[in-house]
Structure 1
Amino acid sequence: MFTTRRPRRLVIGIAAGAVAALGLTACASGTGDAGDSADVSEITVVAANSPWVEGLKTLGTQYEQETGVKVNIEAYGNEQLNDNYKVKLNAQSADFDVMAFQVQDVMREFSRNGWLTDMTEQVESDADWNWEDFQSAARDAVELDGVVYGVPVMTERQIVYYRTDLLEAAGIPVPKTLDELKSAAAALNDPDNGMYGIAMRGSRVPLVTQLSSFLYSFGGDFQDEDGNASVDTPEAKKAYEFYGDLLRESGPPGATNMGWVEASALFAQGKAAFYIDADSQAYTFLDADNSAVVDTVGFAQFPEGPAGSKFYNIVPQTVGINAFSKKKEAAWEFIKWVTNEENTKWLLANETVPGARESAWNDAEATASFPAGLVEIIQNVGDHGVGHDRPQLEQVAAAREIVGGPAITAIEGGDVAEAAKTANTQFQELLDSEK
């Protein structure tokens, strides 16, 4: 992902032998039999194509050698995966046991339908496996109404990418606050010479996830503690205005048509001083075949706003258990093994899979393939991380369309307060429709 992979070194954290029975129970409306016996010979894992799945192919072979349990892996694109799940789970299919899914897109729907197994007792009762070692934001992300539905296997954060050479030449320190970022972007903005102060997503729906960290750092959120719409609070309106001002005053023309592809391309071409987006894009800027900033890109934590530095720290993929599986105990044993500390470190080192365990990120050997600046940011996630980057409801696509509206108004220099009021009313109606 970031550099050429080092030679593989398998680190296995389980003794040879039969799979122990730990006893999982399905969530209330699930009907799967939890009583699988110790003679389970194979389990099936279904997941989205990802670096984690690539690493799983190697670890799965080793797991079979150690336990005698064969691991069948089925991988799909995200949309195909979700469509496949809905068809099979609606039919209460037991064709697969371990299921990887996107927390923010489907967990609410799947849990409501009784398709996911309640894993709360399992993750919290095994001291050696150590649930507390997982980043707090990642743990929060896989929990809904006090129930844990999976174990996070990949994480992603919003960070600041910047041009080290431009900041050094201008004598500008790396911004620590949002106000400093705004000033630095303005100082380095030179559109007449094809250089822009900052590049970010400006398209209505794609920008929502990147707006989120600004929203949190101003003290707001998409919803309040009771789950009601809150995009018209004073804090939210200030966040919208700041985001819009930043792009309008120091961003490229046509920003409202830019998603991450277009915005990241500007930075990779050396045409922007700052770029703010997910840390998963770091490989783009470190690839000499596709980047003009390989030697000049720096990484910084999301700057502090009035409420501090609060950035999303989400889980793009988590692993849970099919509520209709007949092999729940065996499924948990595999999940516990593949997500233990040693194998998380192996995945980080050999497949550059950004796992959720703090111990892995604090291991110098495991993080050797990652840029030091990025590792430092992740090591310091702590209380800065927020486990969601979009509204929290089932109809998330419709919600993003609504809450992205005031940001477009802000970028265009319109009446943000009125746009936020309208969006809040529409968003609340959407939330009420789910009750």
Structure 2
Amino acid sequence: MQRSWLLVGVGIMAAGGVAQAQTQITVASVNNPDMVAMQRLTGEFEQAHPDIRVNWVVLPENEIRQRITTDIASSAGQYDVVTVSNYETPIWAQNGWLVPFESLSEEYDEEDLLENLRQGLSFEDKLYALPFYGESSMTYYRKDLFEQAGLEMPERPTWSQMAEFAEQLTDRSNSLYGICLRGLPGWGENIAVFSTMVNAYGGRWFDESWQPQLDSPAWKAAAQTYVDLLENYGPPGVTSNGFTETTTLFAGGHCAMWVDATVAASFLSNPDTSQVADQVGFAQAPMEVTERGASWLYTWALAVPHSSRNQEAAQAFVEWATSKQYIELVGERNGWVSVPPGTRQSTYENQNYRDAASFSPFVLEAIQSADPTQPTQDPVPYTGIQFVAIPQFQSIGTRVGQIMAGILAKQTTVDQGLQQAQTFTLRQMTQGGYIE
């Protein structure tokens, strides 16, 4: 789950001896490949908009989430463009913190955006953020290692099968780990993956009365599987590994399997960035007792805060960075396998992309089949698959992520940790007025 945003000031540039006002836009971004590519192409935007100057700041995901939330909630006005997701966007729009996109050009083609992403970034039928890339989750595996071991990856494996495969494929003496998963604490890091495991085991965050379910048998089964996999077959120092670190591990040939975001498919399939590009296999995210909620739906999007002093310039940048033309630009400059995925139907109809990205139909199916309105086996009062779309979830997910990392670090047991998580969540929901 990774991001970006903007600081604005006013600069003066001399052109032919005449001073011209120039808006300074600083984009602060998470350090993932697609955002880095956008940073490198910023000159194209500046050439088309000579009155706007774009600067960049790159921060780790957890830090960027904290800074943006603090700035937006306080209306400090430090940022003009913020990177948000389908979690924050409807909540912040309802609070009046974001500016709607109501004047998109005809060329932008809003209807080309994938429907479930448009819905996730809208409030009261207005778009409040534009998707930079979209993703579901899937299973990556090494075809060569499976063949050597005489194993066959199902189209959709179970977590029990993943454990069996991991045991046979682990070779710690050669720094090869049977499975890699995120262990870095954070509601957008380890909890993103772990929530889908809970769903797959038939669990849920809350029952229909908003009572927390974190000490339920399904949660305990999912947590024990997660811990056993990483303790027995995972890399060392796993609690320091988020999306970026785990991508690097797999691309470097150190993971036999990995369950994570579909957006990594292009990076892992590119021989310029992956040592195992010709050996990457794809399967759906693992299930266990149910497929419902076993793979997530997420989008990194760009939005403009209401506190921005340069809303017009900021919206111009957002429209450029999420346009069909930007996707064409990335394809021409960086290769079609590297274009931001998961946002536009036209991308998946483009023959250049289909030829370069053999995984593209698979990814599109995963994204379109993910249903945030029915995320669990049993009924729930919330939407969202790897998150719960309520304001309290950011603090709940952050704390539960810390507890899960503590279990991995052997600071507590699964049962004790989940009891702590249950108690914390119950207190947050009581304070929030969801339960008495």
What TM-score does the superposition give when structure 2 sets the normalisation length?
0.68
Asked if structure 2 preserves the Cα contact closer than 8 Å seen for 1:190 and 1:196, the reply is yes
Q: Tell me how far apart the structure 2 counterparts of residues 328 and 313 of structure 1 sit (CA, whole Å).
A: 28
Q: Tell me how far apart the structure 1 counterparts of residues 234 and 161 of structure 2 sit (CA, whole Å).
A: 16
Q: Tell me how far apart the structure 2 counterparts of residues 48 and 368 of structure 1 sit (CA, whole Å).
A: 33
Change (3 A) 1:165 1:404: same
Q: 1:21-170 residue pairs with structure 2 within 5 A?
A: 47-49=27-29, 50=35, 51-59=37-45, 61-62=47-48, 64=49, 70-78=51-59, 79=63, 83=67, 90=74, 99-103=81-85, 107=89, 111=93, 114-119=96-101, 131-143=110-122, 148-170=127-149
Match of 2:200 in 1: 217
Of residues 393-402 and 321-330 in structure 1, the stretch that sits farther from structure 2 once superposed is: 321-330
Q: Higher relative contact order by CA 8 Å / sep ≥ 6: 1 or 2?
A: 1
Change (3 A) 1:52 1:242: same
Runs of at least 5 residues in structure 2 that lack an aligned partner in the other structure: 1-20, 30-34, 373-383
Q: Is it true that 1:181 corresponds to 2:162 in the alignment?
A: yes
Q: Tell me how far apart the structure 2 counterparts of residues 184 and 207 of structure 1 sit (CA, whole Å).
A: 21
Write out per-residue CA displacement over residues 103-160 of structure 1, whole angstroms, 9 at most, x where no aligned residue. 37865785576331244x668xx99865454334433442468764211112344332
Match of 1:361 in 2: 348
Q: Tell me how far apart the structure 1 counterparts of residues 126 and 218 of structure 2 sit (CA, whole Å).
A: 30
Matched position secondary structure for 2:178: strand
Q: Tell me how far apart the structure 2 counterparts of residues 289 and 330 of structure 1 sit (CA, whole Å).
A: 34
Q: Tell me how far apart the structure 1 counterparts of residues 316 and 251 of structure 2 sit (CA, whole Å).
A: 43
Matched position secondary structure for 1:174: coil
Asked if structure 2 preserves the Cα contact closer than 8 Å seen for 1:137 and 1:314, the reply is no
Q: Tell me how far apart the structure 2 counterparts of residues 138 and 326 of structure 1 sit (CA, whole Å).
A: 28
Q: Tell me how far apart the structure 2 counterparts of residues 241 and 113 of structure 1 sit (CA, whole Å).
A: 38
Write out per-residue CA displacement over residues 286-326 of structure 1, whole angstroms, 9 at most, x where no aligned residue. 5768754343233333133332163223223x222332557
Change (3 A) 1:268 1:359: closer
Matched position secondary structure for 1:199: coil
Displacement, 1:423?
0.7
Write out per-residue CA displacement over residues 266-305 of structure 1, whole angstroms, 9 at most, x where no aligned residue. 5344343212233444566457687543432333331333
Write out per-residue CA displacement over residues 334-391 of structure 1, whole angstroms, 9 at most, x where no aligned residue. 755664445444445545233511321332224555x422563235421226566445
| Same amino acid, percent of matched pairs | 22
Asked if structure 1 preserves the Cα contact closer than 8 Å seen for 2:341 and 2:347, the reply is no
1:400 to 395, 398, 416: 398
Runs of at least 5 residues in structure 1 that lack an aligned partner in the other structure: 1-40
Match of 1:308 in 2: 291
Q: Is it true that 1:196 corresponds to 2:196 in the alignment?
A: no
Q: Tell me how far apart the structure 1 counterparts of residues 329 and 201 of structure 2 sit (CA, whole Å).
A: 37
Match of 1:273 in 2: 256
Of residues 72-81 and 192-201 in structure 1, the stretch that sits farther from structure 2 once superposed is: 72-81
Displacement, 1:167?
0.8
Asked if structure 2 preserves the Cα contact closer than 8 Å seen for 1:208 and 1:404, the reply is no
Of residues 172-181 and 407-416 in structure 1, the stretch that sits farther from structure 2 once superposed is: 407-416
Displacement, 1:162?
1.2
Q: Tell me how far apart the structure 2 counterparts of residues 258 and 326 of structure 1 sit (CA, whole Å).
A: 37
Change (3 A) 1:218 1:428: same
Asked if structure 2 preserves the Cα contact closer than 8 Å seen for 1:149 and 1:320, the reply is yes
Matched position secondary structure for 2:289: coil
Change (3 A) 1:201 1:328: closer
Matched position secondary structure for 2:352: coil
Change (3 A) 1:251 1:329: closer
Q: Is it true that 1:172 corresponds to 2:182 in the alignment?
A: no
Asked if structure 2 preserves the Cα contact closer than 8 Å seen for 1:348 and 1:354, the reply is no
What TM-score does the superposition give when structure 1 sets the normalisation length?
0.68
